[in-house]
Amino acid sequence: MSTTRAVSPGKRVIVLGGSSEIGVAIVRELQSRGPREVMLVGRDPAALAVAAEELRGSGSAPVGTLELDALDTERHEEVLGQAFAELGGADIVILAVGVLGERGGLPSDVASASELLRVNVVGAGSLLMHAARRLRDGGGGALVVLSSVAAERPRRANAVYGASKAGLDALARGLGDDLHDAGVRVLVVRPGFVRTRMTHGLEPAPLSTDPGSVARVVADGLDSGARVVWAPPALRWLMLVVRMLPGPLFRRLKQ
């Protein structure tokens, strides 16, 4: 039996949330399977420059950057159009926009929690819809959406974050069904606890992972034509059990 893996499709890659450790790791994994032209789009020019230099060192050339804040929804269409134009189109768009925010149930800082919802649902959702439209109008492509296992059944330990990811996850899956016949593949990625700058200082949850491992799951998912993947894959079965827990028992979970 052959052990050769299919090469993940698409040479032109746009990363929305371009300084995301997971987003950059996905590009590096794609680079290991074939050459890529990359555009990183994000709000922090300094962080984008660091990520771009890292990818150039890994073999991606050229790597461009564009500045855009997820909350600046009025500029989404313009900047997405520029990203597509500078690459001459796009084959893969990775949506890696998101913030973690305060842990727990009812937040002590409602203003910050509301901003999290605006970033993770409104901002990310706007970018998702603009990217999906661009891919459809360009003849197709793949759209990778970083969701979370928290989207499957939000818990008391991350009520606001889980709700925000549930909203984005639902939008991505609905658009994936709508755009299937137009040649746009939507891959929803549900990682568990990922050891990154964003989670630094937090106690790792069971089956915690790292950006490189998530990236391999994503690239394999693109190769296989999957619609939803979990990272690590064993989380799929754990979350099946979690979804079936009775409410009184589920409320006792503190993590």
- What is the CA 189 to chain-centroid distance, rounded? 7
Asked whether residue 186 is domain-assigned, the answer is yes
Q: Is 36 part of a structural domain of the chain?
A: yes
Query: Is residue 187 in a domain?
Result: yes
User: Residue 193: which of 128, 238, 243 has the closest Cα?
Assistant: 238
First-to-final CA distance of the chain: 43
Q: Pairing mode, if any, of strands 63-67 and 141-146?
A: unpaired
Q: Is residue 28 part of a domain?
A: yes
Lowest mean pLDDT among 8-12, 86-90, 163-167, 174-178: 8-12
Q: Is residue 194 part of a domain?
A: yes
Name every residue whose Cβ is closer than 8 Å to that of residue 75 and which is 6 or more positions away in sequence.
68, 69
Residue 255 lies in a domain: no
Helix runs in the chain, H state only: 21-31, 45-57, 76-87, 110-117, 124-137, 159-179, 211-224, 235-244, 247-250
Residue 161 annotated as catalytic: yes
Whole-number average pLDDT of the chain: 88
Name the residue with tokens 């034509």.
225
Does residue 188 sit within a domain?
Answer: yes
Hey, which residues does 183 pair with through a beta bridge? Answer: none
Summarize pLDDT for 122-179 with one digit per residue, the tens.
Answer: 999 999 999 999 999 999 999 999 999 988 877 777 889 999 999 999 999 999 999 9
Domain count of the fold of the chain: 1
CATH value at residue 48 = 3.40.50.720
Rounded distance, CA 211 to CA 233, Å? 14
Say if residue 103's pLDDT is above 90. Answer: no
* Sequence-distant contacts of 66-70: CB under 8 A, at least 24 apart: 66/39, 66/40, 66/41, 67/41, 67/42, 67/43, 68/16, 68/41, 68/42, 68/43, 69/43, 69/123, 70/17, 70/43, 70/97, 70/119, 70/123, 70/124, 70/126, 70/127
Q: What is the pLDDT of residue 249?
A: 62
Identity of residue 83: A
Burial class (CB in 10 A: 0-12, 13-18, 19+), 83: buried
Residues 169-202 pLDDT 10s = 999 999 999 999 999 999 999 998 786 776 656 6
The boundaries of the domain holding residue 204 are: 12-250
Q: CB-based contacts of 203: which residues, under 8 Å, 6+ apart?
A: none
Which of the following is catalytic: 96, 130, 161, 230? 161
6 domain-assigned: no
3-state secondary structure of 96: coil
